[in-house]
């Protein structure tokens, strides 16, 4: 039995953890996901590489934590999905723009997206985040037998905005102001949330 | 003056070109974009590497040609955009599914998308294809001052479907039948094509 409750003598301190995260975020941002190594981060932060593994498990774990340290994608999405369907497209668009337009969080997220083909764990993390944090939460708010499909279409449009604005950088989409983004994409998102079969709506309304 | 019109003695034949493309497509499909080299394709096809460069210029040129040899993305999109706004979402969705659901064309396209961060020429090629073949053609068919923004939103939704169905493989989206895709995504695409300001529609209709 190790006396894990003994005070002191823990591997590192909250400050150490923060310092690793700051270093990691800076390196992911400037060098990209693939060129950043756990070993390099440890060296620059002046800690043993085993300490980084202890805290974060793996490179993708370190990455996720370093993004989350400056932004909270899951929290942002959860807040946006709260509060009724009426302004849902606008709230989610606002959250997406807040996360991705800010270089501190958007830069690492773009770097992370770029590594999807190199690191299956990263693809899995994005898929998980979209499925659990956005798709499932939106689906719970919709009525009708195809609620999951419509929630999936909603997520797909959000994913499309991220890809064309921040990764492919389609000129028209990358140049849009926040207002343009909301004005341009809200109608499509709203149409997606409605039941696709008018009969179902009519039944509920009559 | 080289006698370029002299018969015969050309570097390779149409059969050689086809053979290079078949080899390239097979290697891109099985090894992915990054691991496939022009040199390796030349060796397997039994031709000099200079001949591959002569025909296709670069790796991304070889790639584009090897995809186009089995499918014609630009032609598929052009046909889909022809013929009025009414069935436009359905026709474009049909074209996208035909291209990407078929492993012969979809496999290489997914491999190509995965290399966007490694090869800026590939990102540029996707951006160009979306901007010139889809966005510009759709924008020409729309009325109103924000036609380009709405066409961009249309393209963004198409890009989103490609990403969630074929790259991220969100389970719900990847599992949809062709009919599900059309039924689920057409309403959002249609809403995006309409002028966002009801006043403009009212004026034209009254």
Is A50 touching B (CB cutoff 8 A)? no
Same structural domain, B109 and B95: yes
Q: Is residue A204 part of a domain?
A: no
CATH number at residue A157: 1.10.357.10
CA contacts within 13 A on the Cβ side of B138: 31
Chain B residues near residue A148 by CB distance under 8 angstroms: 172
Decide if B196 touches A, using CB distance below 8 A. Answer: yes
Contact A173 B152 (CB under 8 A): yes
> Contact A170/B152, CB-based, under 8 Å?
yes
B31 touches chain A (CB under 8 A): no
**One domain, residues B142 and B161:** yes
* Interface ipTM: 0.76
- Helices A38-45 and A14-35 cross at an angle (nearest 10°) of 140
A11 vs A9: CA distance, rounded Å:
6
Q: Are residues A19 and A77 part of one domain?
A: no
> Are A92 and A42 found together in one domain?
no
The reply to whether residue A171 touches residue B115, judged by beta carbons under 8 angstroms, is no
Same domain, A111 and A166: yes
| Closest chain A C-alpha to B179 CA, distance in angstroms | 12
- Domain hosting B122: range is 71-197
CA separation for the pair A85, A91 (Å, rounded): 10
Is there a domain that residue B9 lies in? Answer: no
Contact flag B196-A183 (C-beta cutoff 8 Å): yes
Nearest-10 Cα torsion for A102, A103, A105, A109:
120
Please report whether residue B203 resides in a domain.
no
The full DSSP string for B111-160 is: HHHTTTTT-HHHHHHHHHIIIIIIIHHHHHH--STTHHHHHHHHHHHHHH
Same-domain status, B111 and B138: yes
Residues A109 and A44 in one domain: no
Instruction: Give A-chain residues touching B114 at CB under 8 angstroms.
Output: 116-117
Task: Show contacts of A79-87: CB within 8 Å, 24+ apart.
Answer: A81/A134, A81/A137, A81/A138, A81/A141, A84/A141, A85/A141, A85/A142, A85/A193
- For Cα atoms B172, B174, B179, give the angle at the middle one, nearest 5 degrees: 85
- Pair A140, B149: CB distance under 8 Å: no
A117 at B interface, C-beta within 8 A: yes
Domain co-membership, A86 together with A175: yes
User: Tens place of pLDDT for every residue, chain A, 206 residues?
Assistant: 444 444 444 466 778 888 999 899 888 878 877 788 999 999 999 999 999 999 988 888 888 788 776 677 777 888 888 888 889 999 999 999 998 998 877 887 887 787 777 777 778 878 888 898 889 999 999 988 799 999 999 999 999 999 999 999 999 999 999 999 999 999 999 999 988 655 434 334 33
B25 to chain A, closest Cα gap in Å: 19
Q: Is residue A8 part of a domain?
A: no
Query: Are A149 and A182 members of one domain?
Result: yes
Instruction: Identify whether residues A105 and A151 lie together within a single domain.
Output: yes
Closest chain B residue to A120 measured between Cα atoms? B168
Domain count, chain A: 2
Looking at chain A from residue 7 to 26, which residues have their Cβ under 8 Å from any Cβ of chain B? Answer: none
The Cβ of residue B201 has, within 10 Å, a number of other Cβ atoms equal to 14
């Amino acid at each position: 039995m190790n006396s894990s409750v003994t005070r002191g003598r823990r591997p590192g301190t909250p400050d150490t953890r923060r310092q690793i995260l700051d270093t990691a975020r800076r390196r992911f941002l400037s060098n990209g996901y693939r060129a950043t190594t756990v070993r390099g981060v440890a060296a620059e932060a002046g800690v043993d590489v085993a300490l980084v593994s202890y805290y974060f498990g793996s490179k993708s774990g370190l990455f996720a934590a370093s993004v989350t340290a400056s932004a909270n994608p899951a929290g942002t999405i959860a807040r946006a999905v709260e509060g009724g369907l009426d302004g849902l497209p606008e709230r989610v668009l606002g959250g997406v723009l807040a996360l991705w337009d800010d270089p501190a969080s958007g830069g690492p997220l773009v770097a992370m997206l770029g590594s999807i083909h190199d690191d299956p764990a990263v693809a899995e993390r994005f898929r998980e985040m979209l499925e659990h944090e956005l798709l499932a939460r939106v689906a719970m708010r919709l009525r009708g037998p195809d609620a999951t499909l419509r929630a999936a279409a909603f997520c797909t449009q959000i994913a499309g905005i991220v890809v064309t604005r921040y990764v492919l950088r389609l000129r028209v989409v990358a140049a849009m102001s926040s207002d343009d983004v909301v004005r341009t994409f809200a109608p499509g998102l709203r149409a997606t949330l409605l039941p696709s079969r008018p009969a179902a709506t009519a039944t509920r309304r009559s």
